[in-house]
Amino acid sequence: MKRIEFKEGQLYTEARFKFQGKVVKTSNILIDTSSTVTVISKNIALKLGIEKDEAHFYEELDSLSVGPLKVSHFQVAISDIEGDGVLGLDFMKKVGAKLNLDAMTISSSRT
């Protein structure tokens, strides 16, 4: 179970990205149930050592974790966006995410 925050009308949480052994953590990833894919910002990608000149591309991370929710070998879109990233339905479906807005948590419905 991981805490979520309600800021400026949107839900945010912490996430941990791992790519080729390098780890980056953020507390500013938007939870978006209308986004079909998970997106990370070019800034986070650069911190992970991912450097490409393309405006928008995909990369497979070693893993993406939100608290105890984790997916290994997970493909994300990388784009020039504001904020650190967007947690999309692709991740949420893989982990069986359950949003509890009373308790302000994200957890797995499979536990």
Q: Where do the domains of the chain lie?
A: 2-108
Whether the CB-CB separation of 36 and 43 falls below 8 Å is answered with: no
pTM: 0.93
Instruction: Supply the pLDDT for residue 101.
Output: 97
d(CA 92, CA 17): 15
pLDDT in tens, the chain (111 residues): 999 999 999 999 999 999 999 999 999 999 999 999 999 999 999 999 998 877 779 999 999 999 999 999 999 999 999 899 999 999 999 999 999 999 999 999 885
In this structure, which topology does domain 2-108 adopt according to CATH? Cathepsin D, subunit A; domain 1 (2.40.70)
